[in-house]
Structure 1
Amino acid sequence: MIAGFETREISVGSAGTIFAQCGGQGAGVLLLHGFPETHLMWRDIAPRLARDFTVVCADLPGYGRSAPAAPETGPPQTKRAMAAMLIEAMDSLGFERFAVVGHDRGGRVAYRLALDHPGRVSRLAALDVIPTAAIWDRADARFALAFWPFSFLAQAAPLPERLVGACPEAVVEAALSGWGTPETVFSSEVRTAYVEALRDPAQVHAICLEYRAAAGVDREHDHADLADGRRIGCPLLALWSASGGLANWYADEGGPLEIWRAWASDVTGNAVAGGHFFPEEHPTETLHRLRHFLLA
């Protein structure tokens, strides 16, 4: 549980439910997590952000305790389908317009939300992520070896499902210890929660479907948007790990800010101390930057 927050299971049509914890009052802010986390990644940020906003910490569709995004037409677990499901959830909570903050996989859903539903998103923060097409177009040996879930989880079923299901502890351990954040950041309770979220075969399958979509149709959606000149209209804050790949691999292109400026007109941001999981490693610094952006 997140201190002071209440649990909600939000019905979203025939798709099932979105699991979230909500707290605070005021304008809405939707917080979206990455892999292999759940909404609990925001445990140290959400209560303090709730002093100024109504904060919704949701499990992504197909992650944690949220149902997968399964549209009537088209492939499941695309970022477009996941974003549409979250729009329904925010509708149910009474938020016609809201800000979105997404880390890792949540960042990919967040910017798709802003592209597909421009009138609904007031501000967008994307943490340690660049657009899906951009990262795949730049993929090289460094990318393949460092961020193995992109290729591993996108393999055809049932291989990754069976391997993750056989030992979710190994998957969580490899992620939490391998991307620059000290292992001590994650308590045993948090580690256990992340492992337990990977014990349900249906949820593991949904996560793999999401990675398969990122390797395929999500890239196609991104390229189509660029070709059509579609851009993110709201202010965008990009934050990234000062010691991670985004800070070091793309310096000759101007770094993450220049990459994001191909997608949005109003882009600000900078590196944050720590590894990939810097919102959990340095929650106070992350909160300060998010709060300043969201209150501007």
Structure 2
Amino acid sequence: MNARSIIDGFDYRRIPGHDNVTLNVAIGGSGQPIVLLHGFPQTHLMWRQVAPRLADDHLVIVPDLRGYGASDKPVEADASTYSKRTMARDIVSVARELGAEQFALIGHDRGALVGTRAALDHPDAVSHLGILDVLPTLDTWDVLHGVDAKVAWHLYLMAQPKGLPERMIEAVAADFFASFLDAWDPSGTTFEPDVRQHYVDSSVAAVPSIVADYRATAGIDLEMDRADRAAGAQLAMPVGVLSQDWGAQLGFNALDLWKKWAPAATYEPIDAGHFMAEEKPDEVTEFIRGLVQRKTH
């Protein structure tokens, strides 16, 4: 790792996750544990401005998800390799290795999907769940209709059977990943040039695993969500959602969708682009602080 791919003041360890997969993990501070999970097409570095603020009074654990950044990128042996259930097991294992049997879990984008699955599968481990700018897997697919669904074109591309999506993306990988950093950053000022390059380079090196992550969301993850919905599974821990108003374009109410999973969930809008933790770190930090102060049942 070079100096621009680490969070200043944090220690780094390689920690075993699930099934012999090792994650790159940044660790700082002490106190009530908080785990921060990144989104696409990023790495744990997206939390570089939030994590040090939280480390003033929390143990802050910031991993690269399996398949991303400097974490292991196992070959997609079957659908479970990059299922959110498997990725959630990674995170619970890492937290326990660091002595955190229970922790608050904050996820952005892909990381929020992992966080939601972790909260469903390991409710005794996840004390609080924070969601940044994403919907649950099942509800994401349900709200994508007609021409407005073109905003999520990459979901459909990476949902295709193994082989063709990987080859298509690898042919123009740098342009592919950079296009999301640019399209979802309206100001064009959120990323320092070297950070932006780190995200592009890290993603280019991880095409097969990133595609496998997305493919799982259109298959095995969706099946798990459907099974949980049919069984009436719900999240009892405090759940907070911080999001742009995607619903205005696609015709849904984000809070209503999250309340199907977490009846007591709260929702806060934010005047920021998708990469809100980097665009407005103070607001995101305060959101997290407010969430983890909420009493658990």
TM-score by length of 1: 0.92
Structure 2 residue corresponding to 1:290, chosen from 283, 288, 291: 288
> What does 1:220-239 align with in structure 2 at a 5 Å threshold?
220-239=223-242
C-alpha distance 117-69 of structure 1, shift in aligned 2 (>3 A):
farther
In structure 2, runs of 5+ residues without a counterpart are 1-5
Contact kept in structure 1, 2:148 and 2:249, CA below 8 Å: no
Report the count of equivalent residues: 289
What is the Cα deviation at residue 18 of structure 1?
0.8
Cross-structure match for 1:176: 181
CA distance in 1, matches of 2:277, 2:28: 19
Q: Which amino acid aligns with 1:258?
A: D
Q: Which one-letter code corresponds to 1:280 in the other structure? A: E
Distance 1:142 1:96, change over 3 A: farther
1:206 and 1:143 mapped to 2: Cα distance? 27
Instruction: State which of 166, 189, 195 in structure 2 corresponds to 1:190.
Output: 195
> Within 1, Cα distance between the matches of 2:187 and 2:181?
8
Write out per-residue CA displacement over residues 20-53 of structure 1, whole angstroms, 9 at most, x where no aligned residue. Answer: 1110110111100111000011011110011121
Q: How does 1:133-212 map to 2 (within 5 A)?
A: 133-142=138-147, 144-200=149-205, 203-212=206-215
2:65 is matched with which residue: 42, 60, 65? 60
Q: CA deviation at 1:158?
A: 2.0
Question: C-alpha displacement at 1:139, in angstroms?
Answer: 1.4
CA displacement at 1:149 relative to structure 2? 2.1
CA contact (8 A) 1:102 1:108 kept: yes
The whole-number CA distance in structure 2 between the counterparts of 1:186 and 1:113 is 29
SS in 2 for 1:275: coil
Q: Alpha-carbon deviation of 1:71?
A: 10
Tell whether the 8 Å contact from 1:4 to 1:23 is kept in structure 2 after alignment. Answer: yes
Letter in 1 for 2:254: P
Shift in Å at residue 240 of structure 1? 0.4
1:6: Cα distance to partner? 0.9
Residues of 2 paired with 1:17 and 1:181: CA distance? 35
Question: Aligned residue for 2:107?
Answer: 102
Contact 1:181 1:278 (C-alpha < 8 Å) held by counterparts: no
Contact 1:63 1:206 in 2 (8 A): yes
Q: Which amino acid aligns with 2:108?
A: H
Q: CA deviation at 1:9?
A: 0.7
Partner of 1:262: 260
Who is 2:3 aligned against?
A: none
Deviations 1:52-79 (A, max 9, x none): 2111111111111212478998621000
Contact 2:21 2:66 in 1 (8 A): no
Match of 1:32 in 2: 37
**Letter of the structure 1 residue corresponding to residue 68 of structure 2:** Y
Contact 1:241 1:247 in 2 (8 A): no
Q: Using a 3 Å threshold, how does the CA distance of structure 1 residues 284 and 139 change in structure 2: closer, same or farther?
A: same
CA 197–15 in structure 1, closer or farther in 2 if over 3 Å, else same:
same
Letter in 1 for 2:135: I
* Unmatched runs of 5 consecutive residues or more in structure 1: none
**CA RMSD of the aligned region, Å?**
1.9
Partner of 2:161: helix, strand, or coil? coil
Hey, what does 1:218 align to over in structure 2?
A: 221
Q: Does 1:279 align with 2:277?
A: yes
Give the Cα–Cα distance (whole angstroms) in 2 for the partners of residues 12 and 288 of structure 1: 29
**Alignment deviations for residues 272-292 of structure 1 (CA, whole Å, 9 cap, x no partner):** 111111111111111111111
Structure 1 CA distance for aligned equivalents of residues 59 and 293 of structure 2: 13
Partner Cα distance (2:234, 2:9) in 1: 37
Q: 1:120 aligns with which of 122, 125, 128?
A: 125
1-side partners of 2:248 and 2:61: how far apart?
Answer: 29
Equivalent-residue separation in structure 1 for 2:156 and 2:211 (angstroms): 10
Contact 2:37 2:107 in 1 (8 A): yes
Alpha carbons of 1:223 and 1:143: their partners in 2 closer, same or farther (altered >3 Å)? farther
